[in-house]
Structure 1
Amino acid sequence: MMSLRQIKRIRATTIAAIVLLVAVFILSVATGFASLTPGELFRTVIGQGTPRENLILFEFRLPRIFVAVLAGMGLAVSGAILQSLTKNPLSDPGILGINAGAGLMVVVYIMFFTVETSSFLYILPLFALAGGMATAAVIYLMSYIKGEGVEPTRLVLVGVGLAAALYGATLTLSTRLEMEDYSFMANWMAGRIWGDDWIFVLSLLPWILLLTPITLLKSNVLNTLNLHENVSIGVGVNVGRERIILIMIAVALASASVAVSGGIGFVGLMAPHIARSLVGPRHQAFLPIAALIGAILLLAADSIGRVILDPSGIPAGIIVTIIGAPYFMYLLAKK
């Protein structure tokens, strides 16, 4: 049972995160190669913008911004699930190789199918999901110790090693692609948010809207699974079934997010840690805030990349890595 003070702190933190997300959203809309002044932005939002302003806002900016927000949420919730299930603060879809497995299936898809068809946007996440699931299964089996659960150190070592092998395989296969497809894959691996149309938002939105609420509903289960496995069994949790369901949710969120946004890491590592440090370890409290922080991190990284080197921009994945790599080393030294 949370105290009144804790509840007020959670509410205040949630409101602050929402306000910060809105502020980053507005800055992202208004800045870039073709910027909009606050007056132009307001006029366009209320339907009185010029054709140029409507084109910039509704066709160029908003779709990419929404993809960044949704993908950031998906990666953050995925990282939070993985950290809780494995009891490992270093768990992250990128570090554990899930993103690499999804990326390998992305390049396999591109090798055999065209990226121009409309079905591409909906089939690609399924291919990425298959790669992420297969990778997660291998990592889980190699890290699991009967009666003790997943061994945290082994999990990180297996994940990092497998991620390196999968990225190597992805690079090898990429060299066999046509120039246009190779360019697409290179941008994907660098973490460039390539989804810049409303159809990309529609292809990612169902995954986030469906799986994130399910995760929130399973907050009590996650709280229990964060304890020792014998304790979880003692309070009546079907550990095996719940663990499999939650791992599938985590992998699906990460795979669908990176399929549309690109190979972005560290968001799933940093966002849950920041959220827990603000409101504590209860999943009911920190999961929504982690989702908001993940959206803020990825949207801010994409906006910074566009401003620094527009119109081509620096991939958001690179900006996030510049921030996340030192944070990862700090956690490694601390834990």
Structure 2
Amino acid sequence: MIHPQLLRKQRLYVLGFASLIIITSFIAMGLGYSSVSFDRIIPTIHGQGSFKDEFVLFSIRLPRLIISILAGMALALSGAILQTITRNDLADPGIIGINAGAGVAISVFFLYFPIEAGSFVYLLPIVAFLGALTTSLLIYLFSYQKNAGFKPVRLVLVGIGFAMALSGAMIILVSSAERTKVDFIANWLAGNIWGTDWPFILAIFPWLVILIPFTLYKANRMNLLNLSEPVAIGAGVSIEKDRFVLFIIAVALAAASVSVTGGIAFIGLLAPHLAKSLVGPRAQLFIPVAVLLGGWLLLAADTIGRNLADPSGIPAGIMTAIIGAPYFIYLLIKNA
């Protein structure tokens, strides 16, 4: 049973981060290369704005900030699941190569398959999922030791190796591609949020609607998997089955996210860690906080990045790396 005081504390953080997302979204709607006066945002949303204000808000700003929030939520939840099932504080879909696997699959699909405008948006998450799943299974295979099982540090090192190898593969693909397609892949690698239209929201939203509640349903299993294997087995957990199901969910969330945002790393590392430090390690408590925190982190990174350098700005992936890389090094030293 969770102590009522801890539940109240968690609800306050959920409310606080939800409010922070709303406030940051309001700021993001007004700032940018084509600015919208803050006192015109609410009237414009209610259909009382000028043509220019409506175009900027509904065609440029709103889709981008919603995509940023949803993608950040997906990455945070993916990282939380990976850290739990591997009992590895360094696990993150961007660091251990899952995002890179999705990126290679998207690049191959984009470069060599005929693209139809109507289905391209909705096929991207599926293509990314297949690429990420293949990469993840290979990482698990190479990091598994017969007598010792999965070694946390080995998993990270193997994942980093795969990420570097796949990044090299993407460079090879880019070298033989057309210029317009090279620009797309370069933006993807930098983590420049490119899926900035309403259909992209429809492409990623169903994944979150299904997988977030299912993960919360599996929260008790995650708590047990985070303990030692003998304890989990003694509690009646089918370790391999539950770990595999949760692993597939983590891969699907990461793939759905990076298919519309590009190679964003460290959100899946930062958000779960910060959430656990605020409300503790119980999955029921920290997952909602981590999800909201991840959404806010990517929204804030994208808002800051696109306003630092006009007109194209700094990619959100670079902004998250500036914050996340030092934190990753700290955790690596701590867990060495």
TM range (shorter): over 0.9
For 1:202, the equivalent position in structure 2 comes to 202
Structure 1 residue 238, shift from structure 2 partner: 1.2
Please tell me the residue identity of whatever aligns with 2:184.
F
Following TM superposition, the consecutive aligned residue runs of length 4 or more in structure 1 with deviations greater than 6 angstroms are: none
Structure 1 residue 310, shift from structure 2 partner: 2.4
Query: Cα deviations across residues 197-230 of structure 1 (Å, max 9, x unaligned)?
Result: 1011111111111111111110000001111112
Aligned pairs for 1:1-335 (under 5 A) are 1-115=1-115, 117-146=117-146, 148-335=148-335
SS of 2:117's equivalent? coil
Structure 1 residue 155, shift from structure 2 partner: 0.5
Please tell me the residue identity of whatever aligns with 2:118.
S
Which stretch shows the higher mean deviation, 247-256 or 31-40?
A: 31-40
Query: Cα deviations across residues 213-267 of structure 1 (Å, max 9, x unaligned)?
Result: 1111100000011111122111111111111110000000001100111110000
CA distance in 2, matches of 1:80, 1:139: 18
SS of 1:265's equivalent? coil
CA distance in 2, matches of 1:129, 1:147: 30
CA distance in 2, matches of 1:220, 1:310: 47
SS of 2:224's equivalent? helix
Percent identity of equivalent pairs = 50
Which stretch shows the higher mean deviation, 252-261 or 235-244?
A: 235-244
Please tell me the residue identity of whatever aligns with 1:33.
Y
Which stretch shows the higher mean deviation, 303-312 or 83-92?
A: 303-312
SS of 1:204's equivalent? helix
Tell whether the 8 Å contact from 1:95 to 1:160 is kept in structure 2 after alignment. Answer: yes
Tell whether the 8 Å contact from 1:144 to 1:150 is kept in structure 2 after alignment. Answer: yes
Change (3 A) 1:229 1:147: farther
SS of 1:94's equivalent? coil
Please tell me the residue identity of whatever aligns with 2:283.
H
CA distance in 2, matches of 1:295, 1:222: 22
CA distance in 1, matches of 2:285, 2:275: 9
Please tell me the residue identity of whatever aligns with 1:279.
V
Which stretch shows the higher mean deviation, 96-105 or 135-144?
A: 135-144
CA distance in 2, matches of 1:27, 1:322: 22
CA distance in 1, matches of 2:334, 2:153: 14
CA distance in 2, matches of 1:260, 1:174: 19
SS of 1:177's equivalent? coil
Structure 1 residue 147, shift from structure 2 partner: 6.4
Please tell me the residue identity of whatever aligns with 2:95.
I
What is the TM-score when the length of structure 2 is the normalising length? 0.97
CA distance in 2, matches of 1:92, 1:6: 27
Please tell me the residue identity of whatever aligns with 1:27.
I
CA distance in 1, matches of 2:333, 2:158: 19
SS of 1:155's equivalent? helix
Query: Cα deviations across residues 282-310 of structure 1 (Å, max 9, x unaligned)?
Result: 00000011010111110111101111112
Aligned residues: 335
What is the TM-score when the length of structure 1 is the normalising length? 0.97
Structure 1 residue 323, shift from structure 2 partner: 0.7
SS of 1:39's equivalent? helix
Tell whether the 8 Å contact from 1:97 to 1:163 is kept in structure 2 after alignment. Answer: yes
CA distance in 2, matches of 1:48, 1:146: 66
Q: Which runs of 5+ in 2 are unaligned?
A: none
Which stretch shows the higher mean deviation, 44-53 or 114-123?
A: 114-123
CA distance in 2, matches of 1:57, 1:47: 11
CA distance in 1, matches of 2:8, 2:170: 47
CA distance in 2, matches of 1:33, 1:114: 34
Please tell me the residue identity of whatever aligns with 1:5.
Q
Query: Cα deviations across residues 12-64 of structure 1 (Å, max 9, x unaligned)?
Result: 11111111111111111111111122211011122211111111111110001
Which stretch shows the higher mean deviation, 323-332 or 277-286?
A: 323-332
CA distance in 2, matches of 1:149, 1:299: 38
Which stretch shows the higher mean deviation, 251-260 or 120-129?
A: 120-129
Structure 1 residue 140, shift from structure 2 partner: 1.0
Please tell me the residue identity of whatever aligns with 1:300.
A
CA distance in 1, matches of 2:332, 2:179: 39
